[in-house]
Amino acid sequence: MQVLETITQVRAARSAFPTLGLVPTMGFLHEGHLSLVRRAKAECGAVAVSIFVNPTQFGPTEDLARYPRDLARDLALLEGAGGDLVFTPSAAEIYPKGFASRIEVEGVTAPLEGAARPGHFAGVATVVAKLFNIVQPTRAYFGQKDAQQAVVISRMAADLDMPVQVVVADTVREADGLALSSRNVYLGPAERAAAPTLFRALSRARALFEGGERDAETLRASVREVIAHEPRFEVDYVSVASPDTLEELGRVGEAALVSLAARLGRTRLIDNVLVGRPRA
């Protein structure tokens, strides 16, 4: 496994691999990331992983400074998962003096996380476009955990004719349903005990959908009702939207993305389930 810090090194190393998967991450890796790495390795024969806590996707009051980092541990985990290339650039390598470009994906970036975190998706789209250009992967792997991000990246790659196949993989969860996230380390014991309520709430909506409920507002209300039993939560949004356009639905047709964001103390958690379509 080669650990590379510069774009020049990545370009030189890239040529050894006829097909290559890419898994972009912000590090502090967990089984959610590693499942993407193993899948990319299995499907592409070789995998590159980027570890970069991208400053442009954090708002001024967000957790950039305290975002968890442990490069030595990440590298050991990637070695075990079959990583071939690991790209760990500095912020100056990605955003050198004079950097002035930005990718804005319209429409699908407006609601949900885009509304709650202005500028977030421009930061994400720009850094992912750069990673695609630097690594030139055959396929790039993203988690359904960040459902809107996956929609935004897929839209960008299609709109801009990027020669990469975007793959979205299932959310990996703890045994109690909590979606794995690097940010889960922020949770104190009582918060950690309360956190699985989010997936229980989403699962309730899924059960209602599977029982025939198609009124989106009834599904939203059911999610809110389950979360309300846990007073530690401050709900940011509960959404039942088209999985493709992310527009809020009145009635659910074939499928819907049921998603939410909620604060638990100082930690903001997001989660979602797709109903009516494989992949949760």
Positions marked active-site: 33
Please identify, using beta-carbon distances, which residue of 35 and 222 lies nearer to ligand AMP.
Answer: 35
Tokens of 76: 């050991």
Nearest in space to 33 (alpha carbons), one of 18, 47, 43: 47
Tokens of 96: 């050198």
Please identify, using beta-carbon distances, which residue of 143 and 243 lies nearer to ligand AMP.
Answer: 143
Tokens of 20: 């290559």
| 197 part of the interface to ligand AMP, by CB under 6 A | no
Residue 215 CB, nearest approach to ligand AMP (Å):
29
Q: Which residue is nearest to ligand AMP (CB)?
A: 143
- Terminal CA-CA length for the chain: 31
User: Which one of 179-187, 194-202, 225-233, 262-270 is the stretch in contact with ligand AMP (CB under 6 A)?
Assistant: 179-187
262 in Cβ contact with 268 (< 8 Å): yes
Beta bridge partners of 239: 259
**Among the listed residues 146, 167, 238, 260, the single contact to ligand AMP using CB under 6 A:** 146
CB-count exposure of residue 278 (10 Å: 0-12, 13-18, 19+)? exposed
| 222 part of the interface to ligand AMP, by CB under 6 A | no
| 36 part of the interface to ligand AMP, by CB under 6 A | yes
| 260 part of the interface to ligand AMP, by CB under 6 A | no
Nearest in space to 218 (alpha carbons), one of 250, 182, 265: 250
| 171 part of the interface to ligand AMP, by CB under 6 A | yes
User: Which one of 11-19, 138-146, 159-167, 260-268 is the stretch in contact with ligand AMP (CB under 6 A)?
Assistant: 138-146
User: Which one of 89-97, 110-118, 141-149, 259-267 is the stretch in contact with ligand AMP (CB under 6 A)?
Assistant: 141-149
13 CB contacts (<8 Å, ≥6 apart)?
2, 4, 85
Residue 265 CB, nearest approach to ligand AMP (Å):
19
| 74 part of the interface to ligand AMP, by CB under 6 A | no
| Element containing residue 42 per DSSP (H, E) | helix 31-44
| 139 part of the interface to ligand AMP, by CB under 6 A | no
